[in-house]
Structures are given as structure tokens and as C-alpha cells.
Amino acid sequence: MTVDELLNKLRDAVERGDEEGADAAAKAALEANINPLDAVEKGLTPGIRYVGEQFEKRELYLPDLMLAARAMEFAMKILTVEIEKQGLEIKYEGRIILGTVQGDIHDIGKKLVATMLQARGFEVIDLGYDVATTTIVEKVKELKPDIVGLSAMMTSTMLKQGEVIQALRKEGITNVKVIIGGASVSEEWAKEIGAAGYGPDAEEAVRLAQHLVK
Ligand code: B1M
């Protein structure tokens, strides 16, 4: 198989949300001595970008996006080991730490935001849900992201978004931009707590992140 055919196999597996295919294509690419960075940037990335665009145009649906992201994760697991071994570096648009705030276990929307950001070339570190403010502050210190994204779905937990911003300030961390989203929050709330912005949905969250890292 030629290099182009192998890269197309990676892209195709992501577009079809085919985990096993993505896994096999990643292994085949490494066996053929394809640079693992090329496998990510010329194979997987165009695949997930295409799916992201089709999702925005409503040509594909949420399950398609989720399956594509999972297939990409499968291949990435294999390729990142080789990337690290070779000391190569993936070029990202920016680094984002995401999490649903403490006391809140809703994470479907946040996962969607994470997937869309990845599809647009961001490095996303998803801390999951019910994430303690102290954990977020520690992770910001450790990983120095460009952006922290906080999801809150309930009126009782949205207060935690403000708490995180205060905690970061208290630690003297002022260079990281905090963006917020979730069913119970709004642009006004973002202003009130001093967030850098609010995303009503995943697409707007991506646009906001792109604007903030410019
Ligand atoms: Co719960 N829940 N839930 N729930 N739940 C809501 C949020 C609620 C509005 C339902 C209702 O009463 N009408 C209500 C909150 C009311 C309020 O406070 N105003 C509620 C409640 C009360 C609860 C429990 C307390 C119920 C109970 O046990 N009595 C409990 C909470 C427990 C806890 O968190 N401690 C609970 C539990 C659950 C389930 C576990 C059953 C399940 C969550 C499963 C999961 O996430 N793994 C669940 C679900 C599914 C919902 C509803 C029905 C749907 C949420 C969802 O996934 N939407 C929800 C009702 C609703 O929202 N209308 C509800 C689909 C998703 C794609 O959209 O999450 O809005 P969404 O995300 C969007 C945007 O908000 C935005 O982009 C996303 C994609 O477009 N966005 C961001 C989200 N995060 C962002 C971050 C960003 C930017 C944009 O930047 C960082």
C-alpha cells in the first residue's frame, strides 16, 4: 500500500467512526514507517475536521461525531506512543483544560465541546465531571493551558464557575482565559464572574476559543 493509501485509510476510519479500522490503520502506518506526526496531521486530523464540519452543517449527527472522536482516540493511543518515543511534537491551536464543575455530573455537552475543539486542532485535557476547584487550579499550574473551559448545568453549580476564577486569581494566575458554558449560564453570568467568554453551544465555544488564542 502507498503512503497516500495508508493516510486515506486513517482518515476514512475516523470519518466512519470505525474504532477497529482506526486501530489497524495506525498500526499499518507505523509498520510502513510513516512518520507518526504525518499520520496524525495528514490522516486523522483531516478526518475529524471533516466530521466536525459536517456536524456543523447538520449533515452528520451527534452519534457520528462521538464515534469519529472515539475512533480517533483509538488511533491516537498507538501513534502518540511512537510520537513520544521519537521526541516529535504535535502543533496545536492551543491547549485547553475542560471540566464540569464540582457537584455537577452532567457531561454530555462538555464532551461534545471537547470533541469539537479537538476536531478544530486544539489539545484538550478533559478532567471529566464533578471536578473540584482545587483540582482545576492544580492542573492549570501543572499544564499551563491557554484556556480553561468550565461547564455547569445547574443553577446550584454555576456558582462554582465563579469560584474557580476567584481561586485562580488568588493564586496569581491571570494569564489563563476562562470560558464557560452549560444550560443554566449566560453571557451576563460570564461578565458577572469575570470570565473571558460564554459559549451557548459547542460551535460557539470553538469560535470563542479560536478568537482567544489568536
Ligand atoms: Co440532569 N438536570 N440532573 N441529568 N439533565 C438538567 C440539567 C435539568 C435542566 C433538567 C430539568 O430539570 N429540566 C436540571 C437542572 C435544573 C437547574 O438547576 N436549573 C437537572 C437536574 C436537576 C438533575 C439532577 C439534580 C436530577 C436529580 O437527581 N434530581 C441530577 C444532577 C446530579 C448532579 O449533577 N449532581 C441530574 C442527573 C442527570 C443524568 C445523570 C440523568 C443525566 C446526565 C448524564 C450525563 O451527562 N452523563 C441528565 C441529563 C441528561 C439532563 C438533561 C435532560 C440533558 C442534558 C444534556 O445532556 N443535554 C438536562 C435538561 C436540559 O438541559 N434541558 C438536565 C444535551 C447536551 C448536548 O447539551 O448539556 O446543554 P448541553 O450542552 C450544550 C451547551 O450547554 C453547551 O454546549 C453543549 C453542546 O451544544 N455547553 C458548553 C455545555 N458545556 C459547555 C462548556 C463551554 C461552552 C459550551 O465552555 C467551556
Q: Which residues line ligand 1 (CB under 6 A)?
A: 103-110, 112-113, 149-151, 153-156, 179-184, 199, 201-202, 205
Portion of the chain with pLDDT greater than 90, in percent: 73
| Mean pLDDT value of segment 167-192 | 96
Least Cα distance to 13 among 50, 59, 68, 55 occurs for 68
What is the per-residue pLDDT for 196? 98
Residue nearest to atom 86 of ligand 1 (CA): 181
How far apart (Å, rounded) are the C-alpha atoms in residues 128 and 100? 6
Predicted TM-score of the model (pTM): 0.84
| Per-residue pLDDT at 194 | 97
Whole-angstrom Cα distance, residue 20 to residue 36?
A: 18
Per-residue pLDDT reduced to its tens digit, 106-124: 988 898 888 888 878 899 9
Residue range 94-103: mean pLDDT, rounded: 98
Closest Cα to residue 155, out of 193, 186, 184, 191? 184
Which SS3 state, helix, strand or coil, does residue 128 take? coil
pLDDT at position 147 over 90:
yes
User: What is the atom index within ligand 1 of the atom nearest the CA of 105?
Assistant: 34
List the residue whose alpha carbon is closest to atom 16 of ligand 1. Answer: 154
Nearest residue (by CA) to ligand 1, atom 49, is: 106
